[in-house]
Amino acid sequence: MRISVIRPSELGPAEVTAWHAMQRGSAALGNPFLSPEFTQAAGRHRPDARVAVLTEGGRLAGFLPFEKHRFGVGVPIGAGLTDCQGLVHEPGLAWDPRDVLRGCGLSVFAFDHLAVAAAQQPFRPYLAATAPSPVIDLADGWAAYQAKLMVKSAQFCRSVARKTRKLEREAGPVRLVTDSRDRAALGSLMAWKSDQYRRTGRSDRFAHPWIVGLIEDLFETRESHFSSLFSVLYAGDVPVSAHLGLRCGPVLAHWFPAYDTAYGQYSPGLAQHLRMVEAAAGIGVQLIDLGKGAKRYKETLKSSDIYVGEGAVTTRSALGQLHRAHIVPAQWAVRTIRAQPRLYDSADHLLKRYGELRAALPRLSRPESRAEGGAGPPGQPAPGPRAQGVPAEK
């Protein structure tokens, strides 16, 4: 086997066609994050993006999109944003992860959303843990899914319907635009999501220009094999919830959902999700991958789970072993917290408290807030706490 490394921009029509055929040949590899179009878009915003091209007997046999960082560290392309990672290859190909690493000039390849399936069997010895990733099965259509959801949680369905009717009475007719091209609404989505990150103590992904650039790039992508799908829920003429996902044939990857917390009492995010699922079934989507993460709404909406893996492949070199000694304990700590509900809830609570304090700092740093022990100007009441809205839905 021969392994060559190129930039995503150097992928030609022959490579893209072969890549598409490999994805169609394996359901586990059909995820949008494993598509050449996602790799090419990420390559326009990540200078370290590369693609390992595997050839066998003169034919194209596989592709591994990755980012090559300092000291021989490799990670999946778009790491931190991708919910599915792995090596895309033709059926029956035999390959060794360490040989691939050496061909890429890497001493370690760390992953956290590896597609755990027969197609990735060579990675199994390097798995440290697996985690469930909930999915919505639409193979039998919306009506079949809705019937099962009603059996599973009729109270949930009735609650969402009741709140949606109230939203219509108080804010205007509720409608979903399944495939919106409204850039202003996309801006609203990113603003809502940034606010959610800050409110819950998380790092704001949209503070990174490359992520904003990638989102805007993918928002414009419309190919027969791959496209973005941006759905917006309106109450009257006002957008109240939105979701940006990625579609590859029958698979839709759930990606960035958010809603306007001013309408939080109506649960617009949940209403939007249900209508989005119905609309997706109507345009041929058979599976929605919600991505791993212990969220109540995902547990309610899911049909079942697939599994993704965490781990790292390292070479036998001294540098590879040094990387392993650094990466494995950190991954173990994260897995331990996720596996223990009390630890997870405590960590989540601390992050939210941090978010509240972080939001309060700009207000407390104003001169009028510091005067008189934090009171406002003479004769004025002290400012109240910043409204935090309702808990985020993702």
156 and 202 fall within a common domain: yes
Please indicate, yes or no, if residue 371 is contained in any of the structural domains.
no
pLDDT beyond 70 at 392: no
pLDDT of residue 394: 45
pLDDT beyond 60 at 210: yes
Nearest to 311 by CA among 335, 293, 292, 290: 335
112 and 218 fall within a common domain: no
115 and 183 fall within a common domain: no
**Within a 13 Å sphere around the CA of 55, how many CA atoms are in the beta-carbon half?**
10
| Distant-in-sequence, close-in-space partners of 311: CB < 8 Å, separation ≥ 6 | 110, 111, 114, 123, 126, 127, 128, 129, 331
pLDDT of residue 119: 81
Domain boundary among 219, 251, 285: 285
The tens digit of pLDDT for each residue in 282-319 reads 999 999 999 998 789 999 999 999 999 999 999 865 45
Please indicate, yes or no, if residue 80 is contained in any of the structural domains.
yes
Please indicate, yes or no, if residue 310 is contained in any of the structural domains.
yes
Extract the runs of DSSP E, i.e. beta strands, from 119-225.
127-137, 174-177
Helix or strand (DSSP H, E) at 328: helix 318-339
Structural domain of 332: 2-132+306-339
Question: Is 304 within 8 Å of 136 (Cβ atoms)?
Answer: no
The tens digit of pLDDT for each residue in 82-111 reads 999 999 999 999 999 999 999 999 999 999
Please indicate, yes or no, if residue 290 is contained in any of the structural domains.
no
pLDDT of residue 371: 33
Extract the runs of DSSP E, i.e. beta strands, from 69-148.
73-76, 88-89, 108-115, 127-137
CATH number at residue 235: 3.40.630
**Within a 13 Å sphere around the CA of 116, how many CA atoms are in the beta-carbon half?**
21
How many domains does the chain divide into?
2
Please indicate, yes or no, if residue 348 is contained in any of the structural domains.
no
Please indicate, yes or no, if residue 300 is contained in any of the structural domains.
no
Residue 339: pLDDT band with limits 50, 70, 90: low
Interval 338-364 mean pLDDT: 49
pLDDT beyond 60 at 393: no
118 and 176 fall within a common domain: no
CATH number at residue 45: 3.40.630.30
Instruction: State whether residue 30 is helix, strand or coil.
Output: coil
154 and 279 fall within a common domain: yes
34 and 88 fall within a common domain: yes
